[in-house]
Amino acid sequence: MKTVLYIGAAIAAAALLALPIFGDLGTMNLVIKIMIAAIFALGFNLLWGQAGLPSFGHAAYYGIGTFATIYMMNAIDRGGWFPTPLLPLVGAGAGFAFGLVAGWFATIRSGVYFAMITVALAELVSAIALKWEGLFGGEAGIRSIRTDWGPFSFQSTTSVYWLTLIWMLLVMAFLFGLQRSPFGLVVRGIRERELRVRFLGYDTHRVKTLVFAISAAVSGLAGGLLAISDESASMVLFQGSGSAFVVLNTVIGGAGVFLGPVIGAALTTSFAYFGANLSHFWMLYLGIAFVVTVMYAPQGIGGAIAQRARAVKAGEKAAFGTGDLIGIVAFALTFLGLIFLIEITGTICSEQYRASIASAKGVWPPVRLLGYDFNPLSPLPWLIGLLSLGAGIAIVVAQPHLRRPRLLDLVTTKAEAGK
Amino acid sequence: MLNVTDLHAAYGNIKVLNGVTLSVPGGSIATILGRNGSGRSSTCKAVMGLLPPMRGQVTLKGKELAGLPAHEISRAGIGYVPEDRQVFKNLSVEENFKIGIQPAKAGRAAWTVDELLDVFPRLRERRHIKAGFLSGGEQQMLTLFRTLLTNPDVMLIDEPTEGLAPKVVEALAEVILEMKRRGLALLLLEQKLAMVMRLTDRVFVMGRGEIVFSGSVADFQADDAVRRTWLEVS
């Protein structure tokens, strides 16, 4: 099993190293965004996966990191001395400072109350960003430019790519070391039984505040990299969707596995990148993917892989069996059916489509789907959708190992972890 | 070493401790007996700062502890093994040990994981598995050892023998005697008389939030009235 892991790591490393040589600009930008989302999610998961504290307002620290970095970039542009490659540390510092204050308040409580406080604090920051145009630039946001440092030029996308990659590896090494340190052990102890940790002589409120601030610092560092990559910051960063996406990435990838959030970030960011070109409804598909993950793999994709790897090692399961094949077929059919139904319904309900009916004098134009034209008035596309969906669900229901949704398990494990 | 003087405490309006006074010198074992609800566990909680004392003193080697938060009381040298011993289920046995380790107090040898595992070798075989998979008795021993590794001066153990197999009780007795030999002050809370009677130096009996008897094991055994009034369930 270890060999598989090393081979996987080697392939990933080779792909990351080769990308600037073979990849086009679009792909490189995508991977930069994935790495930024991965750092953000890793920071978030320090708080959730390790300390058991679910923050639903982490966009605040990400956004603060972005703005702080943009201001520093402007200062460099005006002749400041700060080295460009270290700019993410400005984001991290800002995130840490705000995280200390917010974390001190939020970690007075645990579980749902903690989560509510984080949401409230994020909304507060968002409201301030909206009103305070002088500092946050209003709807237009603030722009800046990357300045070269010594012999290093930062004008190309490739340079931003290398910088982001190096910072991602540094953050991973830091967080991995932290997780294994005595401090990380105390943090995990707090997730399990906070009161017992106090009996062992630790001021748990102080530990929780610190871990919150470190998590906010890593999020701010990710925000700093975004500032370098985009050369701009806007108050949109503070909106709730940013906080939601990092939760989504972590849940889909798996909070209990170190690289889980990275897997989630890679999947959702790629999905947003490609999906947005393919369909207007890509966010709906992402939502469905989230629900399916929570139901069938509450430990996330990374967690499911780790679990399977352990079962294979113990000789309980094959690495890939017929059951998995049936599962994949069932999900593929279900999704195919959903795609037909959602795309056709969505398209014919759109204003644009209404307008084209009017311009064609009442004739319904065909809907293009998966490379074919379908007449929305014929039963064919609807039948394909319904039959495919029905067949997929029927297989799921007939297979005992697929049937049981584990939603409640997730809720209970998280509730226990929050105690 | 541990001195509790005139300790009063309440849950809301319900008074549970009405002036508890007791002391446990270093290198000795004291046991508090009493029925359910007599105030045994509340005494421990008040000493540990979980139940804020309304009045009275708790001192350890002369240092006042009443009113401090739980982690500072632990740092001052009191180890507490509560009744509902809970291990960190998703941490390995070894991590459960490591999380508690504190340096020894001046002039006392530190407890080591190895010597504790010698007393109860079953945990050594299982040190890499998650503590949640241990049996009840193993989890109890793990909690006790984890607390001992904070190298406290005083150990408060609530119902040490509850639900333990006889063989485990033997291992436990051995550790308790070793703690005494090393000069710790031990305060055990028990409902049952059997095991502790051969270990303890001093007996306290609690009833209605007060100490109603205090004396040696011989005194206690000679006093039928105390047993009848405060311990036996009629």
**Location of structure tokens 């923050």:** A55
pLDDT reported for residue A415: 52
User: Which residues, 6 or more positions from B133, have their beta carbon under 8 angstroms from its beta carbon?
Assistant: B126
- Run of H or E residues at A232: strand A232-233
- Residue of chain B minimizing CA distance to A194: B88
Boundary of a domain, candidates A266, A289, A307: A266
Q: Has residue A198 been placed in a domain?
A: yes
pLDDT reported for residue A419: 42
DSSP assignment letter at A40: H
Q: How far apart are CA A16 and CA A165, in angstroms?
A: 8
Same structural domain, A18 and A147: yes
pLDDT reported for residue B17: 92
Give A-chain residues touching B91 at CB under 8 angstroms: 185, 188-189, 192
Same structural domain, A226 and A126: yes
Same structural domain, A42 and A151: yes
Same structural domain, A357 and A256: no
B146 to chain A, any CB pair closer than 8 A? The answer is: yes
Q: Show the domains of chain B with their CATH numbers.
A: 2-231 (3.40.50.300)
Q: How far apart are CA A159 and CA B149, in angstroms?
A: 51
Tell me which of B45, B50, B81, B99 to substitute to probe the interface with A (most A C-beta atoms closer than 10 Å).
B99
Same structural domain, A257 and A340: no
Same structural domain, A261 and A127: yes
**Location of structure tokens 């809907």:** A367
Q: How far apart are CA A9 and CA A312, in angstroms?
A: 20
Boundary of a domain, candidates A239, A266, A293: A266
User: Which residues, 6 or more positions from A107, have their beta carbon under 8 angstroms from its beta carbon?
Assistant: A53, A114, A205, A208, A209, A212
**Which chain A residues touch B if contact means CB-CB below 8 Å?**
182, 185-186, 188-189, 191-193, 195-204
B27 to chain A, any CB pair closer than 8 A? The answer is: no
Same structural domain, A62 and A158: yes
pLDDT reported for residue B190: 83
Q: Has residue A78 been placed in a domain?
A: yes
Q: How far apart are CA B116 and CA B102, in angstroms?
A: 15
Tokens at A376, concatenated: 């929305």
pLDDT reported for residue A171: 97
Same structural domain, A163 and A237: yes
Tell me which of A108, A179, A190, A196 to substitute to probe the interface with B (most B C-beta atoms closer than 10 Å).
A196
CATH number for position A151: 1.10.3470
Same structural domain, A250 and A131: yes
Give B-chain residues touching A199 at CB under 8 angstroms: 48, 70-71, 74, 79-80, 82, 147
* DSSP symbols for A120-183: HHHHHHHHHHHH-HHHH-TTT-EE-----BTTB---SHHHHHHHHHHHHHHHHHHHHHHHHSHH
Q: Has residue A348 been placed in a domain?
A: yes
Q: How distant is the Cα of A34 from the closest Cα of chain B, in angstroms? A: 31
ipTM associated with this complex: 0.85
Give A-chain residues touching B146 at CB under 8 angstroms: 200
Among B70, B90, B102, beta carbon nearest to A198: B70
Tokens at A82, concatenated: 């700060």
pLDDT reported for residue A107: 94
Give B-chain residues touching A203 at CB under 8 angstroms: 69, 71-72
Give A-chain residues touching B88 at CB under 8 angstroms: 188-189, 192-193, 196
Q: How far apart are CA A23 and CA A14, in angstroms?
A: 13
* DSSP symbols for B157-200: EESTTTT--HHHHHHHHHHHHHHHHTT-EEEEEES--HHHHTT-
**Location of structure tokens 């949109």:** A236
Q: Has residue A294 been placed in a domain?
A: no
Q: Do A185 and B99 touch (CB under 8 A)?
A: yes
Q: How far apart are CA A206 and CA A100, in angstroms?
A: 10
Same structural domain, A248 and A397: no
B90 to chain A, any CB pair closer than 8 A? The answer is: yes
Q: Has residue A322 been placed in a domain?
A: no
Boundary of a domain, candidates A212, A244, A266: A266
Owning domain of residue A359: 329-418
Domain count, chain A: 2
Same structural domain, A242 and A122: yes
pLDDT reported for residue A349: 87
Give the CA distances from residue B52 to residues A83, B11, B75, B164, in Å, rounded to whole numbers and listed in that order: 53, 9, 18, 31
Same structural domain, A257 and A381: no
Q: Has residue A360 been placed in a domain?
A: yes
pLDDT tens track for B200-234:
999 999 988 899 999 998 888 888 888 888 887 65
**Of the candidates A215, A166, A171, A214, the residue with the CA atom closest to the CA atom of residue A32:** A166
Q: Has residue A306 been placed in a domain?
A: no
pLDDT tens track for B108-164:
788 889 888 888 888 899 989 999 999 888 898 899 999 999 999 999 998 888 878
The partner residues of B128 in beta bridges, in order of sequence, read none
Predicted confidence pLDDT, tens digits, chain A (419 residues):
677 778 888 998 899 888 988 888 889 999 999 999 999 999 999 999 999 999 999 999 999 999 999 999 999 999 888 999 999 999 999 999 999 999 999 999 888 899 999 999 999 999 999 999 889 988 888 999 898 888 888 889 999 999 999 999 999 999 999 999 999 999 999 999 998 999 999 999 999 999 999 999 999 999 999 999 999 999 999 998 899 999 999 999 998 889 999 999 999 999 888 888 888 888 888 888 888 888 888 888 888 888 888 888 888 877 787 878 888 888 889 889 998 899 888 888 888 888 888 888 888 888 888 778 888 888 888 888 899 999 988 888 887 666 555 545 555 555 555 44
Give B-chain residues touching A184 at CB under 8 angstroms: none
Q: Has residue A5 been placed in a domain?
A: no
